[in-house]
Amino acid sequence: MDFSFESLETPALTKAQLADLLFEQIGLNKREAKDLIDAFFDQITESLLHGTDVKLSGFGNFQIRKKAARPGRNPRTGEVIPIQERHVVTFHPSVKLKDSLQVVE
């Protein structure tokens, strides 16, 4: 299966564009393609919400990380503002993805 992205006009790849690629290159109907993309991202979101890391072989890992509370500063006024503890999603690309990005065109 060869995926081509030459037809993309914007630098960002959207869920709608992914669904269109599934429709054009794999032959799923548009509704099935949209449902598949939505289900894929919903599953990733649900896994992260439950504290489970998401590992996509050959692509990378998504993890939830807890950031501690810390003092921040308003850049305009210099006023110290506390930043609350929070959870953030981190992404670590796989070696395979990193290597494929180093290909000289």
The rounded mean pLDDT for the chain is 89
CATH number for position 40: 4.10.520.10
Residue 1 lies in a domain: no
| Whether residues 75 and 37 fall in one domain | no
Q: How many CA atoms lie within 13 A of 91 on its CB side?
A: 7
| Whether residues 89 and 48 fall in one domain | no
More confident residue, 27 or 95: 95
Q: Which range has the worst mean pLDDT, 10-19, 20-29, 56-65?
A: 10-19
- Which long-range CB contacts under 8 A does 63-66 form with residues at least 24 apart? 63/89, 63/90, 63/91, 63/92, 64/88, 64/89, 64/90, 65/89, 65/90
Q: Tally the residues of the chain.
A: 105
pLDDT tens per residue across span 2-17: 555 555 455 788 999 9
Provide the number of structural domains found in the chain: 2
Range of the domain at 64: 53-105
Q: What is the mean pLDDT of residues 18-42?
A: 93
| Whether residues 63 and 47 fall in one domain | no
User: What span, in angstroms and rounded, lies between the C-alpha atoms of 53 and 7?
Assistant: 33
| Whether residues 47 and 61 fall in one domain | no
